[in-house]
Structure 1
Amino acid sequence: MQSPLFGHTETQAVGRYALQNPQLLRVRVDGSGDVLARSGAMVAYTGKVAFTSWSPAGRRNRRGNDPTTLELMRCDGDGTVYLANLAQHLHILELQREQLTITSSYVLAMDSSLRWQVVGVQGGEHISGVGSRSLELTGSGTLVLMTSGQPLVMRVRPGAYCFADADAVVAWSSGLEVQLQAQSRNTEVWRRRGTATEGWEMAFSGTGYVVVQPSELLPPRRIPLRGVATQSGLGQGGPRGVSR
């Protein structure tokens, strides 16, 4: 059998995280540190790897109520895991004692060494993209974020504002000052899709970066099956090994 299809074989890369292609992440799991991935993001794996639900016990946001909007699973064992979310474009970031704020819907995977808390943009609970619960990540480690298409990274400099559609903003430097403002006289607060007028925009000032995607839609979510506690190739069911 011959076809260009067979040219898309596994990449040989050094390091824990690598891109198999722009929409597919290759992660090496070897027990040296926890890899946290978005629930349901595994599309393939080799070796002996288990996937278990993970939740940061006691994690609260600054208001002390809702713990998080991000559902994660822990990848453990020895092997290679391939992660994706409906062909979203993927980007690997190395944080070195830096702070980054990201809308939780755009997180694909990260090291457990990164610390994070739920934060909010004032008034953002009315905006579909920003929402009321973004994640502020701190520390050192790897983060893999996803965007709908190739993003634009805008540099923010002192003395000049940077503006972006609230539904297109993916992440920004946590040190930036952020203001939310409406650019329409429409009385509906929720973002209006397909209208000729713009809705809400975010204004950034200070020093840092803003990541904007060429889309005003949130990425579709994989919905995990109810009652599935662990998915593993090591269970009693062999390759299907799903414990319920």
Structure 2
Amino acid sequence: MQSPIFNNTVNQTQERFAAQGAQMLRVALGHGEDVLARTGSMVAFEGMAEFDGEYQTPGRQHQQWAAGEALPLMRCHGQGAVYLAHLAQHVHVLDVDHEGLTVDSSYVLALDPHLHWDVVAVESQYGIAGAGAYNLVISGRGKVALTTSGRPLVMRVSPEGYCGADADAVVAWSSSLRVQMQAQTSTSSVWRRRGNTGEGWELNFMGQGHVVVQPSELLPPTHTSFGQQIAGQFRPQQPAPGAPHGGSAWGR
């Protein structure tokens, strides 16, 4: 049997977290080093790998439920390697240090189990919990694998100038940055998108650090079980008065 498909072989590397092409992650297991991965993200494994649901305290479960920012995790352990992916999204490995990382939980693929993470609120200047109002802050020293829809843009933020991005396109940012969420609108309702521009909530970043923005305003699709339709997931938004409820996410 011959085909160019056989060029897609295992990436032989000593790195524990290693990209396996653009849309898959290989994590080496063994010597007491486990990895926490998004539930259901395993696509293949080598050796004697095992998978267990990761226990989360009732307090953390309630916090995630109340914020709508859940991070379902499984613990991968054993000897060998595990291959992780999520809906063919692009995979990126980041080293978390003293800066910390703030990220939407929908984009977390895997992380070192010794890292600490918690749910935090991104404050709106209107005092309203809108799009992207809650995120995860990951702290400590270790590796985190994120996914994006396409190749992302990484913007550097400095004290000399801040930057802004659509709240639905922002994936992650340095936790050291100061963040303000706002909706530039001239209508009486801050939920309505800006006039006829199609733009709504935005995040402004100030300080010293980085912001990761993907070329899409769609979160990863959800409800992908057999027999269910794949649909883009949006952050909760209140429809404008008189607008019909429901409808296709692709018709935004």
Name the TM-score, length of structure 2 as normaliser: 0.79
Matched, 1:119 2:120: yes
Matched residue type, 1:2:
Q
Residue 218 of structure 1 is matched in structure 2 by 219
Unaligned stretches of 5+ residues in structure 2: 227-252
SS at match of 2:18: strand
Whether the 8 Å CA contact 2:185–2:192 is kept in 1: the answer is no
- The higher relative CO (CA closer than 8 Å, separation ≥ 6) is in 1
Unaligned runs of 5+ in 1: 226-244
Matched length: 219
- Name the SS of the counterpart of 1:126 in structure 2: coil
| Distance in 1, Cα, partners of 2:8 & 2:105 | 30
CA distance in 2: counterparts of 1:31 and 1:37, whole angstroms:
18
1:14 matched residue in structure 2 = 14
Measure how far apart 1:188 and its partner are.
Answer: 6.6
Q: Which amino acid aligns with 1:6?
A: F
The answer to whether the 8 A contact 2:34-2:78 is kept is no
User: Is the 2:107–2:146 Cα contact (8 Å) retained in structure 1?
Assistant: yes
Q: Deviations over 1:168-219 (max 9, x none)?
A: 0001111111111113345372779xx6421111111111111101000001
Equivalent-residue separation in structure 2 for 1:212 and 1:31 (angstroms): 36
User: Is the contact made by 2:41 and 2:84 (CA closer than 8 Å) also made in structure 1?
Assistant: yes
1:77, CA displacement in angstroms?
A: 1.0
Q: Within 1, Cα distance between the matches of 2:225 and 2:57?
A: 20
Q: Is the alpha carbon distance of 1:72 and 1:191 closer, same or farther for their aligned partners in structure 2, counting shifts above 3 Å?
A: farther
Question: Under a length normalisation based on structure 1, what TM-score does the superposition of the two structures give?
Answer: 0.81
Compare 79-88 and 29-38 and name the one that shifted more. 29-38
Identity over aligned pairs, percent: 51
- Residue identity in the other structure for 2:87: L
Query: Any idea what SS the aligned residue of 1:21 has?
Result: coil
Amino acid at match of 1:94: D
Q: Deviations over 1:97-130 (max 9, x none)?
A: 3311111111000001111111011247421xx2
Counterpart residue number, 1:34 = 34
